[in-house]
Amino acid sequence: MTTTLYRATYLHTPSSPFIDAAALRAEDDGALLVEGGVIRAVGGYADLRAAHPDVPVSDLRGGLLLPGFIDTHVHFPQVRVIGGLGLPLLDWLEQCALPEEARMADAAYARGVARDFVGGLVQAGTTTALVFGSHFAGAVDELFTEATRVGLRCVSGLVVSDRLLRGELHTTPQRAYDEGRALIGRWHGVGRSLYAVTPRFSLSASEGVLDACGALMQEFGDVRFTSHINENTREIEVVRGLFPEARDYLGTYERAGLVGRRSVLAHNVWPTDRELGAMAEHRCTAAHCPCSNSALGSGFFPLRRHLDAGVHVSLGSDVGGGTGFSLLKEGLQAHFMQNLMGEGGVDLSPAHLLYLATLAGAQALGLEGQTGSFEVGKQFDAVYLSPAPGTPLDAVFRHASSAERALAAAFATGTPADVTRVWIGGAEVHTRSTRQTA
Ligand SMILES: O=c1[nH]c(=O)c2nc[nH]c2[nH]1
Ligand SMILES: [Zn+2]
């Protein structure tokens, strides 16, 4: 079993800074003892070195070591259509996303997309992702296969819909159930893969399809659930017309027994107070996708109302409605948007941003015992930010008055080019040599 002492400036949030003002932990000259992929000790380098004088040291000084990022809303089939700017949700789906999603019927095409997708995630420092899969079971197999090959913690499933998309993307309730059940059997709990029951959204899923999803949730106690909710005002109007009996958008999922501790609902830009209260009671998560909300003009996420209601919030890139895989960028955009909301916004510190990009996602997925922070007993899932010499981020890192200031700069200006090493379960899954700039 390999044992390594990683020496680095590291930061993590073992608790939520929305609850605990001292949640951010930082060590300027820190160390993590990792044995067989598991964190066995954390603390200052001098102390850990004295206690473990014979363990080989991996010297990561000069950059920042953070827990691996956790993206709780990202679409596998949309990596090649990032950048469809200037359209609201329903037009963007019709013109940009759905034509590409139809191509996923071809497993060989899906295989190439899976490589682009998983590569994009790990290069951005994402080590765990809740992924909207494909409408085609064969493509979902390709995604899990590639995630397994790379080592990504991947929670995903078959996307199901039976109306208002394109004919080739529609299924039936029976097929949704049968294909979902078979995929659960092949992938759920296999290696690092977990299954998520995934109706696309109530606009495209009849009560029959939602009930088929509910049946899978009942049958398989620990599969996860994900879908979209309250993203765009036009979408909400259409859903209201399709479900005249439902009290609101959340009610369409509640009726089928889909909302609980294992549920992650993306966006929730326009919730009612009733929905927020019920989400808190169900202990489900809202995945906030600030770049997507900006690119599709969906609106400002009411973070303050979520927090006041007690709703758990995590972060998602929402590629390809979003603009890329970087959770540093999502954190920055969340910060910008909350600032722009004035009195109604939440002042997000670097600690909040780090928590949203890491432990909050692990908690959303019920994986907080395994990942999301550098605590003893957790897996060594980590991202090392080491900007190229001569870049502005490198200048900040060399002159920052504290690790927290360096972290703020990482969110403000860091990109996947600064992500030079990524580990999942102790295995290095991505390495980028630092380029010298002129
Ligand atoms: O941002 C989004 N991206 C999608 O692909 C999608 N499908 C339904 N609702 C959606 N929202
Ligand atoms: Zn989405």
Task: Answer whether 73 contacts ligand 1 (Cβ < 6 A).
Answer: no
The residue ranges of DSSP E strands in 164-281, in sequence order, are: 193-199, 224-229, 263-267
Residue 150 domain flag: yes
pLDDT at res. 437: 44
Q: Assess if residue 285 is contained within a domain.
A: yes
Distances (CA, A) of 384 to 101, 276, 387: 33, 36, 10
Q: Please name the residues in contact with 91: beta carbons below 8 A apart, sequence gap of 6 or more.
A: none
Pairwise CA distance, residues 330 & 147, whole Å? 22
The finding on whether 421 has its CB within 6 A of some atom of ligand 1 is no
Report CA(102)–ligand 1 centroid distance (Å).
Answer: 15
Separation between Cα atoms, residue 190 and residue 186, nearest integer Å: 8
Q: Say yes or no: 59 and 75 in one domain.
A: no
Q: What is the pLDDT of residue 422?
A: 98
Rg (C-alpha) for the chain, rounded Å, is 21
Domain that holds residue 265: 69-340
From CA 372, how far away is CA 359, in angstroms rounded? 4
222 within domain boundaries: yes
The reply to whether ligand 1 has any atom less than 6 angstroms from the CB of 93 is yes
Is 89 close to ligand 1, i.e. is its CB under 6 Å away? Answer: yes
One domain, residues 228 and 329? yes
Q: Within the chain, which residues score under 70 in pLDDT?
A: 434-438
In a domain, 188, yes or no: yes
CATH of the domain at 24: 2.30.40.10
- How many whole angstroms from 73 Cα to the centroid of ligand 2? 6
Give the Å distance between the CA of 220 and the centre of ligand 1. 26
DSSP per-residue letters across 302-352: -HHHHHHHT-EEEE---TTTSS-S-HHHHHHHHHHHHHHTGGGS----HHH
Q: Does residue 202's CB lie within 6 angstroms of at least one atom of ligand 1?
A: no
Nearest-atom number in ligand 1 for the CA of 292 is 1
84 CB near ligand 1 (under 6 Å)? no
Kindly state whether residue 398 falls inside one of the protein's structural domains. Answer: yes
- Closest atom, ligand 1, to C-alpha of 231: 11
pLDDT value of residue 433? 78
134 lines ligand 1 (CB under 6 A): no
CATH for 212: 3.20.20.140
CA–centroid distance, 131 to ligand 2, in Å, is 9
Is residue 231 lining ligand 1, measured as CB closer than 6 Å?
A: yes
Does 425 lie in the same domain as 324? no
Distances (CA, A) of 319 to 31, 81, 120: 34, 9, 10
Tell whether 158 and 284 lie within a shared domain: yes
148 and 201 co-located in one domain: yes
Is there a domain that residue 49 lies in? yes
Report yes or no on 350 lying in a domain.
Answer: no
Specify whether 319 is located in the same domain as 390: no
Query: 3-state DSSP call for residue 159?
Result: strand
Note whether 303 and 172 are same-domain residues.
yes
Q: Is the CB of 12 under 6 A from ligand 1?
A: no
Q: Is 292's C-beta closer than 6 angstroms to any atom of ligand 1?
A: yes
Length of the chain: 438
Residue 97 CA, closest ligand 1 atom number: 5
> Whose CA is closest to atom 7 on ligand 1?
200
- Atom nearest to 322 CA in ligand 1: 1
Which among 367, 335, 87 has a CA at the least distance from the CA of 327?
335
> Is 16 part of any domain?
yes
Predicted local confidence at residue 438, as pLDDT: 38
Within this chain, do residues 59 and 186 fall inside the same structural domain, yes or no?
no
pLDDT of residue 409: 98
Domain identity same for 417 and 312: no
Mutate to test the pocket of ligand 1, among 200, 264, 270 (most ligand atoms within 8 A of CB): 200
Interval between CA 76 and ligand 1 midpoint (Å): 12
Nearest Cα residue to atom 3 of ligand 1:
321
In this structure, the answer to whether residues 60 and 92 fall within a common structural domain is no
Whether 182 and 254 share a structural domain: yes
268 and 133 part of one domain? yes
Could you give the number of structural domains in the chain?
2
